[in-house]
Amino acid sequence: MLQGGGPAPSPPPDGATWECADLTVPVDWADPAGRTIELALIRIDRRGDGTTPRIGSLVFNFGGPGGSAVASLPAFEPRFTGLRAGFDLVGMDPRGVGASSGVVCLDDAGVDRELREVGFPRDTAGEEEWLRSREAYAAACAERAGGLLPHLTTVATARDLDLLRHVLGDSRLHYYGASYGTKLGAVYAALFPDRVGRMVLDSPVDPGRDLVERSLGQAEGFQRALEVFLAECAGREDCPTGGHPGEGARLVGDLLDGLADRPLPTADGRPLTQRLAVHGVIGSLYSESGRARLRAALERALAGDGTGLLEAADRYLGRNAEGRYRNLHAANTAVNCADFASRPGPAEVRRYRAEFLAASPVLGPYLVWDLTACHGWPVVSDRDQPEVHAPGARSILLVGTTGDPATPYAGAERMREALGDGVGVLLTLEGEGHGAYTAGNRCVVAAVDAHLLSGATPRDGTVCERTG
C-alpha cells in the first residue's frame, strides 16, 4: 500500500473505495534484472450499469510532464462517472513524478528564493546570473536524483505503461492522455501498436517540433489566448484593462515590465515579482475559470496589490497554502531534458528573441528564456522527439482545440499525420482552453465516451462547436 501524502481521496457517492498500490519496474529497461523503483497507482472499480460489459481498465495521464494521476484522478472522477460503466479507472504516477520517486531538486524555501531573487535577464549580468541559477538547479537535481535522471524518458514510461497493462490483465491498453499524456500515449502506440486498445489523446503535443519550435508555438498560443481574454474583457463594464484589447495588452505589458524593478506587495508577505506574475498570467490562460480569476487579479495588480496574481502563480507552480510545492516543475524539467537534445544558450536566446517578441509582444520577452531550461543538465537525449509513427495500431481519437494556448491546434493535425494513415482520427473543438474532454463540452464528451465505451469513432474532421 502507498504511504500517502495529504488527505485520502473522498469516496465516490456510490460507496466505492479507492485502492492504492505500487508497481515495481526496472530503473533501466535495458537491464530489467537490475535496480528497481516503485510506481504509485490508484484505482476505482467499475460501476456496472447492467447493459455495458466490462471492457477492462482505463489508464489516465493528465499531462505535464510532471502531473500526478494519483492526485488528479480522484478530483476528476465525478466527470468520468459514465466511463465506470465499462472500466476500472486507473491512475499511475510516472517515474520521477509525485509518489513515484518524485524528483525534488530544491527544498520549498529554495524554490521561493529562486522565484524571488532570480529575474528574467535584461543585460549581460542578468544573463550570467540566470545561467548560474540554471546550472545550480541542474547540479542540485543531479545530487538528489542523479542515478534516476537518465531513465526519466517518455520511452521508459511507455514501457512502464505496458507492464501496467499486463499486470491489470488487459490484452490491450485502454488510455486517456491529455497534453503531455498525448505524447506518452503516442510513444506507447509506436512501441506497441498491436497492444493499443481504445485510446484518446486530448490536446495533442506537436510530435515533430524541436525545443525552439515548440516554445515559439506556445508563445504564439499564449499571445492569442491573452488577446481573446482581453477582447472578452473589453466587452464587460467592469473590465480592468479597458474597452479596447490593444490598450489592454499595453497595460498588461507595462505591468509586467514594471515588476522587474518594483515588485508588488501581497497579503501573503511574499512580493509579486516579474517572474511570478508571468507564471500567474500564463497559468490563468489555460481555462475559463482561470480567465475569470485573471480579471480580478489584474484589477488588484493595476491598483498596486499583487495578491491575485501571486495566488495564480502558486496554482500554476503547484504551491499550496502551507508553502509546500508539488514536484510538477522539477519533474517537468527532468523529463523534457531527458527527451530533448536541444540545449540553446544565451547566444541562441538573443538570436531568437525577435521571433519570440513577434510571436508574443507581451509574453515573448520572458518565454524565450524557457529555451535555457536544460542548461547544465547532466543528461542529453540523442534526438528531440521520440518516435510516434504507429502503423497497424487501432484508430486513436485525437481531440484538438482551436484556441489551445499550451498545445496549439496545429500540433493535433501534425500528430494525426505522424501516427500514420488511418490511425489518428481528429475531432476538433472550436473554442478556447487546454483539455477539451475535462472542460465538459457536451459534443466532445459524447464522442470520447462513445469511443471508449463502444469503440465508435467519429468521422475524421468532425467539428464540435464551443457551445456544444
404 catalytic per annotation: yes
Question: Which residue out of 179, 203, 215, 381 is catalytically annotated?
Answer: 179
Q: How far apart are CA 361 and CA 128, in angstroms?
A: 24
Question: Which residue out of 174, 375, 434, 451 is catalytically annotated?
Answer: 434
Q: How far apart are CA 391 and CA 190, in angstroms?
A: 8
Q: How far apart are CA 218 and CA 94, in angstroms?
A: 24
Q: Where are the beta strands (DSSP E) in 295-381?
A: none
Candidates 103, 101, 76; CA nearest to 23 is: 101
C-alpha cell at 415: 500528430
Q: Is 429 helix (H, G, I), strand (E, B) or coil?
A: strand
Bridge partners (DSSP) listed for residue 43: 19, 90
Q: How far apart are CA 268 and CA 320, in angstroms?
A: 12
Q: How far apart are CA 127 and CA 345, in angstroms?
A: 10
Half-sphere exposure at residue 60, Cβ-oriented, CA atoms within 13 angstroms: 25
Q: Which residue has the cell 486530448?
A: 202
C-alpha cell at 275: 517572474
454 catalytic per annotation: no
> Are the C-beta atoms of 403 and 397 separated by less than 8 Å?
no
Q: Which residue has the cell 491573452?
A: 226
Say which residues have a Cβ less than 8 Å from residue 398's Cβ, sequence separation at least 6: 182, 200, 201, 202, 204, 412, 415, 416, 424, 425, 426, 427
CA 418 remoteness from chain centre: 21
> Are the C-beta atoms of 48 and 85 separated by less than 8 Å?
yes
Q: For 370, list phi and psi in degrees, rounded to 5.
A: -65, -20
Question: Which residue out of 202, 314, 404, 449 is catalytically annotated?
Answer: 404
In angstroms, the first-to-last Cα distance of the chain is 42
279 catalytic per annotation: no
Residue positions annotated with a catalytic role: 179, 404, 434
